[in-house]
Amino acid sequence: MTIPSPRTALLVYAHPEPTSFAAALRERAEHELTRAGWTVEVSDLYADGFNPVAGPGDFTAPSDPRRLHVQREQSHAASRGTLAPDLLREVERLERADLLVFLTPLWWFGLPAILKGWVDRVFVFGRVYGNGLTFETGPLRGKQAMLALTTGGPESSYSEGGAHGELDVLLHSVHHGMFRFTGMDALDPFVAWGAGWADDATRTAYLDAFGKRLAALASTDSEAA
């Protein structure tokens, strides 16, 4: 009998308030995945003081100290092991993970700046994508990725004909431009609609549904391993 190796999840949590509903989703994710035997790592971007701004400090030995070309320096640093330590820690967490989950509110129809900046810096050209390695040949192929999202607006406003347009369209840059582009399998998002104004029963139902979704994912994935 083959014993499946433990699976690892990376939860990237982007909310400045530790008692937020997004934090409750993160706790539920940690609980369910740990219970299923997974190793769970958490990047708590605000609490960790993660720097989301790409810049010369990302590289300890730049190839051209006179002029910054971000992708060229990412590639140079990836091949020589000269990524800044905070960046390398996140890249290694990402590479260890079988499942990546972004736990975040929807801000301005997209990701909060700190999480977008995590992608800008951690999706390193020459290591996470690039040099012809994207989509089916992307270095992150075999991994799954998922958005766990809270919104202010109700589901009806993100439906066809709704005031904000379809959520799938808004999330294309994440699902296609980040997850699939680097080779990952983009799972359907989990959305807690109107989390800020929902009543307690609705919020409890969201937490339970999210827990069940992750438990099912963890058991399916373990069987496949």
Q: Which residues are catalytic?
A: 152, 158, 164
| Residue 90 to residue 77: CA distance in whole angstroms | 15
User: Looking only at residues 131 through 150 of this chain, which bind ligand FAD when binding is defined by CB under 6 A?
Assistant: 150
Instruction: Annotate 80-110 with b (16+ C-beta within 10 A) or e (fewer).
Output: eebbbeebbebbebbeebbbbbbbbbbbeee
Among 32, 105, 123, 184, binds ligand FAD (CB under 6 A): 105
User: Looking only at residues 15 through 44 of this chain, which bind ligand FAD when binding is defined by CB under 6 A?
Assistant: 15, 17, 19-22, 24
The CB-of-40 to ligand FAD minimum distance in angstroms stands at 18
Task: Decide if residue 115 touches ligand FAD (CB under 6 A).
Answer: no
Task: Decide if residue 108 touches ligand FAD (CB under 6 A).
Answer: yes
User: Looking only at residues 149 through 168 of this chain, which bind ligand FAD when binding is defined by CB under 6 A?
Assistant: 150-153
Three-class DSSP category at 202? helix
Choose between 105 and 117: whose C-beta lies nearer to ligand FAD. Answer: 105
- Sequence-distant (≥ 6) Cβ neighbours of residue 95 within 8 angstroms: 140
- Sequence-distant (≥ 6) Cβ neighbours of residue 15 within 8 angstroms: 22, 23, 46, 103, 104, 105, 112
CB of 105 closer than 8 Å to CB of 112:
yes
Task: Decide if residue 103 touches ligand FAD (CB under 6 A).
Answer: no
Maximum pairwise Cα distance, the chain: 58
Sketch the per residue contact string, 195 through 224, with ligand FAD: x for CB under 6 A, - otherwise: xx---x--x---------------------
Task: Decide if residue 183 touches ligand FAD (CB under 6 A).
Answer: no
Number of residues that bind ligand FAD (CB under 6 A): 20
Q: Which stretch binds ligand FAD (CB under 6 A): 55-63, 68-76, 173-181, 193-201?
A: 193-201
Q: Which run of H or of E encompasses 30?
A: helix 21-35
